[in-house]
Amino acid sequence: MKLESLPKSNETKARKRVGRGPGSGMGKTSTRGQKGQKSRSGASISAWFQGGQTPIYRRIPKRGFNNARFETKFATINISDLERFFNDGDVVTPEVLKTRGIIKKQLNGVKVLANGELTKKLTVKAQRFSSASVTKIENAGGKAEVI
């Protein structure tokens, strides 16, 4: 058996020569049809493009796990607020802050921050304190108690 006597297979199919005149059947528009985005040169539309409507991946709701749901949030209050709303010798608790309307929600507790100056002797009870706020309360002669 010789190489030239082998039966012809479909593996050596001639490539499509587009734009080579009307006789080829693939002239003029080169098998691209008439006008439109896909007939232009350099046209390539991504597989997920949906004609300008909002894509399916943006229409369906998000799913999955997110840790933000379990974040511990504290209601914050500054030393300046304690100075303004309380008298010398008062006991400051989260319940008192809420009943007086100084904080709206207790959330997971109250954190005292050190913005401002304190001159009154207060006993402050809260879930968290910044280190600077503890020193300011104690320097004024008060106490900072963690609940």
Q: Which residue has the tokens 């001639």?
A: 14
The per-residue DSSP string of 20-67 comes to S-GGGTS-TTTTS-SSSGGGSTT----TT--TTSPPHHHHSPP-S--G
Whether residue 9 is predicted with pLDDT greater than 80 in this model: the reply is: no
Identify the H or E element spanning 137: helix 131-139
pTM higher than the cut 0.85 = no
How far apart CA 7 and CA 43 sit, in angstroms, is 40
Between 96 and 6, name the one with better pLDDT: 96
**Coil, strand or helix at 143:** strand
Give the per-residue pLDDT at 130.
94
| CATH code for the domain defined by 72-146 | 3.100.10.10
**Coil, strand or helix at 120:** coil
Domain edges within the chain:
72-146
Q: Give the model confidence (pLDDT) of 27-74 as tens digits.
A: 999 889 899 888 988 888 888 888 889 999 999 998 888 898 899 999
